[in-house]
Amino acid sequence: MTCSNTLQSTTNEFLADPTPSQLEMFRQFLSSEIADKSETMILIGGEEQSTRLTTEQLEKAHSVLTEVARNLNCDISLVRAKSVGKTDFEIREYLIRRQMANENDFT
């Protein structure tokens, strides 16, 4: 349920500062994933030099991801965060889950 390798590398490049067309492409991808499975996992950051994001970039990416998820009526939860070696970089994995019509029994 993680995004494809192509989207994964693309996500790291633009999610922290997306253009309108990149944001729309990602929104469509996420909408399709949610329609098919009701939930999906999104990984931000990476161990490779080319996929690493600074803390500031991770926070921006999280904000964009949260906004897109909420616009699609989804909940977003940080599942785990992992430091990359002895660096200041980390990898974050998020669960994006469609909100169910009647979830008032868990308030």
Whether 44 contacts 62, CB under 8 Å: yes
Domain ranges of the chain: 5-100
pLDDT tens by residue, 75-95: 999 999 888 777 778 888 999
HEC string for 4-48: CHHHHHHHHHHCCCCCHHHHHHHHHHHHHHHHHHCEEEEEECCCC
Tell me how far apart the alpha carbons of residues 44 and 61 are, in angstroms, rounded to a whole number: 8
CATH code: domain 5-100 is 3.30.110
pLDDT tens by residue, 4-44: 444 444 456 678 888 898 889 899 999 998 998 899 998 88
